[in-house]
Structure 1
């Protein structure tokens, strides 16, 4: 992190982080007092100032730790898509398109579906970075922490230890994170005493239930009478009989069998009734997932990532795409709004045109 005061409330620049201060800055830019700074419908700023403000907001969220010169040279696509609506070059071409019905069809499609937010695709190369992808998969609280995990060797790329945070992933690459390095899988320090108390109380409940199951049950009156009859029969059998022949010919008295103690079948559970788990599973600990409460706005997984929290791994399925009315690149701003369009206009003017062979040798790792 280059700036220690990256979450400054005075600047209110949203970042890739779950920090509560960052959430407050996002509220300021979306609905709070700073929301008017990025609405250029009625403003006294010049076009240069509008583009500069939009570029600063976009770059603050998308790769603020990447140097601006490196971003313009390596993290912008070869050809930036045109976000402006298509306009006929001449009157003859406009008349020809009107005669063919293309203009009416285009306007109808734009009214029904909207234009494809292709301006957001200029940030697709940033989303391919391994540290940004790690944050998108919700394995880290911020992109800065994700970068630290990669640099310190807690991340594996395709089964091998990888420590270069500038790597851009290719479709099909799989990353694996050490579970000991993921913070929300560990027990929170402030709630450690409370969790231990809950565990002790659960253990006491389990012990009481086990003792109740192993303790002998009190005999019923029928069982006591049956036991007394059995004792009397045993005494009569052991006593010497007067006539052995008579005793052998007469059948022995039979005693009634005690009633069966098998549990009766209960009524079947209705579909709307909740399922009651057994005592062994009720006391089992839950999955150790402790995300902070203020991380709810950031807990989402983009469509180009396939995440498995059971194995702490994720697969980069494909490159982000955009279609009419939808963009797969997560951003706090409208993917087809003024901020993204003005930032696109800024980089169209200032992006470098020529790349020499020596410059290509300094390109960050790109797995295509």
Structure 2
């Protein structure tokens, strides 16, 4: 993770995935302030290369600024945008052609929205994507009933996420769960203990809710998520999509505007390279094979980067690395 000293810097005024008041100020400056002129390319003397570079910088600042650019190109950037197909029942509005356009440029960040830390932030369980990442690393999140400490995990339709109530920032941080008691018991740390007569234990079915200041502009849930705040869980229904006049990927920029289009042109002009696309495709196949519990064989070999990456164990010794020309991996004797 690329750590930033101050992601809400007033000089850069780059919107982030956060509810911080300073981030709201930066969003206002980029929308209505003087900084909005930097991304208004209708009348500018800058070159096309500068416009593409600037568009890529401002969009990546919001969509995965903690992901390194090399990893983003290899694992999250799609090779091409989805094809446009309008169904017969979808009528085209001839009076307002802007509503009939499909914003495809924003779909370049679909894989980023599938990350576990981003989904936690979209579900309003965390006040920032950085806090969501901390929750995952601190073993407070369960994926399909199993604790997950990998914030880069990409979700699939039907996956369920459960968050421990004590780790949600919206709940009162002064309330903690005592060890050995159920979730219905609440103990206040700030109140001193009374050494007098023992009092009966009281139960509470709800934790106190505290909404941060200036958080109302960010309180929304995408349609591809089903969130239950009573049990602190969420279901990932499907992947985000787009249609005529709308896009399900939340972004501070126009989903079909110049900034998004120029950012996509930047990556298409740079080119992913034939080898990078092949490696990413093979890594995706490995990831899908790992998720499949009924995959045949316990020894999986995939040629990546000129070598053979072997996942699993082999009876009789440890598995080493072999070149592409060899048929079997090199075996290291355990004797």
Report the TM-score when normalising by structure 1: 0.64
Deviation at 1:45, TM superposition (A): 0.6
- Aligned equivalents of 1:334, 1:112: Cα separation in 2: 12
Aligned to 2:230: 310
- Aligned equivalents of 1:69, 1:109: Cα separation in 2: 44
Higher strand share: 2
Aligned to 1:322: 242
Residue 127 of structure 1 is aligned with which of 113, 120, 126?
113
Aligned to 1:185: 171
- Aligned equivalents of 1:81, 1:109: Cα separation in 2: 26
Deviation at 1:113, TM superposition (A): 3.0
Deviation at 1:362, TM superposition (A): 5.7
User: Aligned ranges for residues 1-368 of structure 1 at < 5 Å?
Assistant: 2-81=3-82, 108=94, 111=97, 113-187=99-173, 288-355=208-275
Range with greater deviation from structure 2 (347-356 or 315-324): 347-356
Question: Judging changes above 3 Å, is the alpha-carbon distance between structure 1 residues 311 and 142 closer, same or farther for their aligned structure 2 residues?
Answer: same
SS at match of 2:30: helix
Unaligned 5+ runs, structure 1: 84-104, 190-195, 200-283
Unaligned 5+ runs, structure 2: 85-90, 176-187, 192-203, 293-335
Question: If you compute each CA radius of gyration, which structure gives the higher value, 1 or 2?
Answer: 1
Determine if contact 1:154/1:178 at 8 Å carries over to the other structure: yes
Aligned to 1:210: none
Deviation at 1:77, TM superposition (A): 1.7
SS at match of 2:170: helix
User: What is the CA deviation profile of residues 276-317 of structure 1, one whole-angstrom value per residue up to 9, with x for unaligned ones?
Assistant: xxxxxxxx9986211112111111000110000001000110
Determine if contact 1:169/1:316 at 8 Å carries over to the other structure: yes
- Aligned equivalents of 1:185, 1:302: Cα separation in 2: 22
- Aligned equivalents of 2:283, 2:243: Cα separation in 1: 33
User: What is the CA deviation profile of residues 102-138 of structure 1, one whole-angstrom value per residue up to 9, with x for unaligned ones?
Assistant: xxx9893872733100111111000000000000000
User: What is the CA deviation profile of residues 322-359 of structure 1, one whole-angstrom value per residue up to 9, with x for unaligned ones?
Assistant: 00110000000110111111101111112313246766
Determine if contact 1:168/1:365 at 8 Å carries over to the other structure: no
- Aligned equivalents of 2:30, 2:174: Cα separation in 1: 31
- Aligned equivalents of 1:300, 1:139: Cα separation in 2: 11
Question: Judging changes above 3 Å, is the alpha-carbon distance between structure 1 residues 351 and 166 closer, same or farther for their aligned structure 2 residues?
Answer: farther
Question: Judging changes above 3 Å, is the alpha-carbon distance between structure 1 residues 78 and 323 closer, same or farther for their aligned structure 2 residues?
Answer: same
Determine if contact 2:98/2:245 at 8 Å carries over to the other structure: no
Number of corresponding residues: 255
User: What is the CA deviation profile of residues 153-177 of structure 1, one whole-angstrom value per residue up to 9, with x for unaligned ones?
Assistant: 1000000000011110000000000
- Aligned equivalents of 1:135, 1:359: Cα separation in 2: 26
SS at match of 1:34: helix
SS at match of 1:169: coil
Question: Judging changes above 3 Å, is the alpha-carbon distance between structure 1 residues 302 and 106 closer, same or farther for their aligned structure 2 residues?
Answer: closer
Report the TM-score when normalising by structure 2: 0.70
Determine if contact 2:92/2:100 at 8 Å carries over to the other structure: no
- Aligned equivalents of 2:271, 2:153: Cα separation in 1: 22
Question: Judging changes above 3 Å, is the alpha-carbon distance between structure 1 residues 286 and 153 closer, same or farther for their aligned structure 2 residues?
Answer: closer
Aligned to 1:277: none
SS at match of 1:183: coil
